[in-house]
Amino acid sequence: MTSVPANAELSVDELKALLKLQQEAFLNEGPPSAEVRRNRLDRLLAAVLGSADELAEALSADFGNRPVGYTLGTEITTSIHVVKHLQANLEDWMQPIDYPDDFLPTTVDVDPLGVVGVVGPWNFPITLVVHPAAEAIAAGNRVMIKFSDGDVRTGEVFARAIAKYFDPSEVAVVLGGVELSAAFSALPFNHLMFTGSPGVGKLVQKAAAENLTPVTLELGGKNPVVVGRDAVLSDAAVRLAGSRLANGGQFCLGPDYVFVPRTSVEEFVDRTRQAFVDFFPDYATNPGVTSVINEKNFDRITELVDDAVTKGARAVLGVPEGDRAAVADRSTRRIPPTILLNVTDDMRIAQEEIFGPVIVVFPYDDIKEAIAYVNDRPSPLAAYWYGDDSADFREFRRRTASGGMARNDFAVQIFQPDVPFGGIGQSGMGAYHGKTGFDTFSHKRAITTSQLPVPYAVQSVTFSEEGLAQTKELLSSALAEVTARLK
């Protein structure tokens, strides 16, 4: 089996050569059989499971601290379900689709695209390359993965694991910084999948546009939460606090701000603060806390909070009184869970995605206020509602746009295997997961057989006076019909 460099760090020329290698291998093989696709999925899963402990330890080192159990549970075990679901269904999904017709019977072939590029983020660097790569493999493609340069140790472990099970002509992992990332996005892939920030997503799309490469962009955004008037505040507060602590708040689906009925704000804040304390009473030293990924992001988050407080916001810290965790610690990159009130539009935190253990609380008197606020900003990746399927909820659902929505829990919209996952507007374009991902990385090509009594080619160049009269009669009749409906 051909090997790639142990650290998978390639020059730009080597990157182009790798793409050519995969393109030629794809053309020489043709669309792979279901058996070959299942085998490749098995090897992908073996690569991940076989290096699970090493990946989890490396990722904790990259973050400063990230619980090994959290990584194993969220980034490794999920791969099992993804691969098994694809293996169970890919043979049905890859079958041609027949459209019977007396004169123009058509078959639609479901073909692989060729070579798919996958660019992953730093916050969930394993999950968010393995899942789209698995769907691209199930669809019959070769895959090149650009691992995040924010997780250097994890990338090296992952690259070695993939190289152990795959020839680089099938699946390859490349590592590198900004220059290599830009070169990767500019390659003429058959499809490019990117997960990351909207700012970088714009650069990726611009680079891909030079080759007219289709892209799927999974981005972020300021995800809103609404606590309904009928919500159980104690339950909503616990769930919100847990969702803001997940991965240290570094979660594209994480809540960014929450609307609470005005009369319940103080109670909700008290309950949320207590929930933070109950989760981690010893926040500064608790091994279950995920650190902020690096000093740059630590500084960015603390500056957002400081800017808001300086301009009049009130900060409530989710740590016990007098606890030393009440002070953000740059050496450990731990920021105390923080609730901000009285936030106004002139504060940076009202405009920028937080991506940390901080949540903003707004009061509302009428659901229209929350709807107007959400709609006045770019569409988020997710929206959340706590409460019953009430008239207010249905109005919020009907009047706002988001990539997905969940009620009474956090991120559960991503766990149904064939439910499309993707953003809208500033939060992304395109979708994947299960059958949707298989279709994203496939091309449906129609093959139509003519059984017309008179060939269409003949009809199109020998249009008779009788045919012209019939066409005009058809147009007149259609116009009369639509005009009648408009009255």
Give the pLDDT confidence of 174-190 residue by residue, as tens digits. 999 999 999 999 999 99
For residue 1, pLDDT over 90 is answered with no
> What pLDDT band is residue 325 in, cutting at 50, 70 and 90?
low
Could you tell me which of 365, 367, 368, 404 has the C-alpha nearest to residue 384?
Answer: 404
Q: What is the pLDDT of residues 103-124, one digit of tens each?
A: 999 999 999 999 999 999 999 9
For residue 276, pLDDT over 90 is answered with yes
Question: Residues of the chain with pLDDT > 90: what percent?
Answer: 90
User: Which pLDDT does position 8 carry in this prediction?
Assistant: 64
For residue 221, pLDDT over 80 is answered with yes
User: Which pLDDT does position 7 carry in this prediction?
Assistant: 53
314-317 and 255-261 as β-strands: parallel, antiparallel, unpaired?
unpaired
> What pLDDT band is residue 324 in, cutting at 50, 70 and 90?
low
User: Which pLDDT does position 461 carry in this prediction?
Assistant: 67
Q: What is the DSSP letter of 324?
A: G
Note whether 257 and 288 are within 8 A (CB): no
Q: What is the pLDDT of residues 76-95, one digit of tens each?
A: 999 999 999 999 999 999 99
For residue 99, pLDDT over 60 is answered with yes
pTM over 0.85: yes
For residue 6, pLDDT over 50 is answered with no
Out of 75, 135, 170, 252, the active site residue is: 252
352 assigned to active site: no
Give the mean model confidence (pLDDT) for residues 254-275: 98
For residue 371, pLDDT over 70 is answered with yes
* Other beta carbons within 10 Å of 324: 13
> What pLDDT band is residue 339 in, cutting at 50, 70 and 90?
very high
The average confidence (pLDDT) of the chain is 94
> What pLDDT band is residue 3 in, cutting at 50, 70 and 90?
very low
Note whether 340 and 363 are within 8 A (CB): no
Could you tell me which of 398, 410, 331 has the C-alpha nearest to residue 371?
Answer: 398
User: Which pLDDT does position 29 carry in this prediction?
Assistant: 96
Q: Rounded distance, CA 286 to CA 289, Å?
A: 6
User: Which pLDDT does position 469 carry in this prediction?
Assistant: 87
Identify any residues that bridge with 317 across adjacent strands, giving them in sequence order: 338
Q: Rounded distance, CA 382 to CA 241, Å?
A: 17
Out of 135, 156, 170, 218, the active site residue is: 218
User: Which pLDDT does position 455 carry in this prediction?
Assistant: 77
* Other beta carbons within 10 Å of 487: 4
Q: What is the DSSP letter of 434?
A: H
Q: Rounded distance, CA 451 to CA 369, Å?
A: 60
Per the listing, tokens 């929450």 go with: 258
218 assigned to active site: yes
For residue 2, pLDDT over 70 is answered with no
Q: Rounded distance, CA 36 to CA 152, Å?
A: 31
Give the mean model confidence (pLDDT) for residues 437-453: 94
Q: What is the pLDDT of residues 30-50, one digit of tens each?
A: 999 999 999 999 999 999 999
Question: Residues of the chain with pLDDT > 70: what percent?
Answer: 97
Per the listing, tokens 């140790």 go with: 153
